[in-house]
Amino acid sequence: MEWNSGQARAILATTILGSGMAMLDGTIVNVALPAIGHEFTASVSGLQWILDGYLLTLAALILIAGALGDRYGRRRVFLIGVVWFGLASLLCGLAPTTELLVLARVLQGVGGALLTPGSLAILQASFPRELRARAIGAWSGLSGLAAVLGPLVGGLLVQAGSWRLAFLINLPLAAVCVWLALKHVPETASGDHERVDFLGSAVGALGLAGLTAALVEGPPRGIGDPLVLGCLVLGAAAMTVFVLMQVRGRHPLVPPQLFANRTFVLSNGLTFLVYAALGGVMMLLVLQLQVSLHYSPTAAGLAGLPISLIMLVFSARSGRLAQRFGPRLQLVLGPLLIAAGILLLNLVVPGASYLFGVLPGVLVFGAGLALAVAPVTATVLAAAPEKHAGAASGVNNAVARTGGLLAVAVLPALAGLHGAEYANPVALTAGWHIALTVCAALCAAGGLFAFGVDNRVLGQEKPADCLSCGVDAPPTHANTASQNA
């Protein structure tokens, strides 16, 4: 396939729209949290569950989604995910209570799990090896752009009408994505016919749910609460059983040979730490701007726009640099730059101006993301056998989402935020400083993992600099995070 062919552009557009829709929803909700909390009189734990309900099923099921795509067809599973995601978004937009909104978010995460690994696996299967890093750079930039633009779009929708529009916007996006996929994306599968490990997926989901519930409910209820203790024990036991099943099972959900590759392991370790930091920062930044600095929802979204612009210009180029010189240097420097940007966000306090308080951290933060995101995604996939492209993508996405999931569950307690204290500027600002220190340390630690990455993993093919394409400006990601996404 030629880079500037019509089919290449259509496949990129389809995968970017699908994964971008999931990433958009993953961040657009952040800016709507104050409005949701006000309407439903929700506590901190209620807001945590609105975020973590989605991340929980996304992280827990993304592994089996990758395996299902490998076996039954990547386009087929991708399409099911897009339709499911759209219908669940409708339920979110109509939810009358916090509890029903959390339930709808859980269902929405199922759709996100089905479509997210399919995007990367479709790219991996559709593009020749010498073009994959460039394609992944474009994908990570443009789909990740949705994640970074989420707060801006969410702010506009909240001010224009209601927080419910932040979910309902997914309906037309899903419809366009389905049309593009049916028209332009070929079906691909690995050809393997091994049994899919549904039991392993259920056990892993149970373990992750138990640990998440214990982390979220522990601070308000107390560690001695029977519910908290029960969830903790159940979660730890289920996760232990899950690991044993994957190591000893005949048809593991996660092929053990993936973890025989040191680069695959280290790149996923980096992903976990960086996306945990991103999850915490993105959750609290829009709260800090709206509650402590009295930004409107739209202004809070606009505050992060420079991140989008930086990633729009540099993400694909970052992928090509990694292809030419190897990914190691970028995977070391990128997380360190992200950590520096996070520390600069300590300037975001009541009374600070945008120019000197918000912008410095945002610029450095965006530079770090542009440097690291496309290379780490390409590195994870390149380190895995091609027949396990879907499983490798699923592992990387699960790692990224789990990092964000645990950060949302743990950070408010570490920052000393309980009950309705998120609405108090003094308490929120104090917690903001603590959370930033923790997140910066996580990113810095992630950069250390990259020293062990094989710098030859992306191959020595000459990058296609001479080719041009309408999407040749790539861009952003921030699981940002996210999934990787």
| Inter-residue long-range contacts of 195-200, CB under 8 Å, 24+ positions, other chains counted | 195/251, 196/64, 196/67, 196/68, 196/71, 196/251, 196/253, 197/64, 197/67, 197/245, 197/249, 197/251, 197/252, 197/253, 198/64, 199/245, 200/64, 200/242, 200/245, 200/246, 200/249, 200/252, 200/253
| Each residue's pLDDT tens digit, 448-485 | 988 988 888 886 443 333 222 222 222 333 333 333 33
96 plus 46 within the same structural domain: yes
- CATH number, domain of 385, equals 1.20.1250.20
> Average pLDDT, stretch 263-267?
91
214 touches 232 (CB < 8 A): yes
pLDDT confidence of residue 460? 43
Percent of residues, the chain, with pLDDT higher than 90: 28
What pLDDT is stored for residue 459 in this prediction? 67
Give the pLDDT band (50/70/90) at residue 434: very high
pLDDT of residue 331: 94
Both 69 and 191 in one domain: the answer is yes
CB 381 within 8 A of CB 267: no
Confidence class for position 414, pLDDT limits 50, 70, 90: confident
63 pLDDT more than 60: yes
Q: Are 205 and 339 within one domain?
A: no
- Model confidence pLDDT, tens digit, residues 344-354: 999 999 999 99
Q: Give just the sign of the alpha carbon dihedral 287, 289, 292, 297.
A: negative
Q: Say what the pLDDT of residue 141 is.
A: 67
Give one DSSP letter per residue of 283-328, joined into a string: HHHHHIIIIIS---HHHHHHHTHHHHHHHHHHHHHHHHHHHHH-SH
261 and 142, same domain (yes or no): yes
CA dihedral 97, 100, 101, 106 (to 10 degrees): 160
Q: How many domains does the chain have?
A: 2
The reported pLDDT for the residue numbered 308 is 76
Which range of 253-262, 347-356, 374-383, 405-414 scores highest in mean pLDDT? It is 347-356
The overall longest dimension of the chain from CA atoms, in Å, is 63
Residue with more model confidence, 426 or 323: 426
Angle at 193 between CA 188 and CA 199, to 5 degrees: 110
Reduced to 3 states (helix: H, G, I; strand: E, B; else coil), residue 346 is helix
User: Chain centroid to CA 128: how far?
Assistant: 26
Cα 171 from Cα 173, distance rounded (Å): 5
In angstroms, the CA 373 to CA 475 distance is 10
Q: What is the mean pLDDT of residues 357-368?
A: 94
136 shares a domain with 89: yes
Give the structural domain span for 179.
6-196+253-452
**pLDDT tens for each residue of 176-196:** 999 998 988 888 776 665 677
Whole-angstrom CA distances from 191 to 74, 182, 461, 462 are 11, 21, 27, 30
152 and 207 both lie in a single domain: no
Is 311 found in the same domain as 239?
no
Instruction: Report the percent of the chain where pLDDT is more than 70.
Output: 91
Note the pLDDT of residue 240: 93
Q: Are 205 and 239 in contact (CB under 8 A)?
A: no
Query: For 304-336, what is each residue's pLDDT tens digit?
Result: 888 878 877 787 788 888 888 889 999 999 999
pLDDT at 395: 82
Same domain for 154 and 185? yes
Whether residues 188 and 51 share a domain: the answer is yes
Mean pLDDT within 231-259: 85
Question: Do 247 and 271 belong together in one domain?
Answer: no
d(C-alpha 138, C-alpha 145), whole Å: 10
Mean pLDDT along residues 251-279 = 87
Residue 171: exposure state from Cβ atoms within 10 A (0-12, 13-18, ≥19): middle
Instruction: Put residue 225 in one of left, alpha, beta given phi > 0 → left and psi -120 to 50 → alpha.
Output: beta
Say if residue 329 is in the same domain as residue 400: yes
Contacts with 99 (C-beta within 8 Å, 6 or more apart), sequence order: none
* Confidence (pLDDT) at 485: 35
* Same domain? 418 vs 400: yes
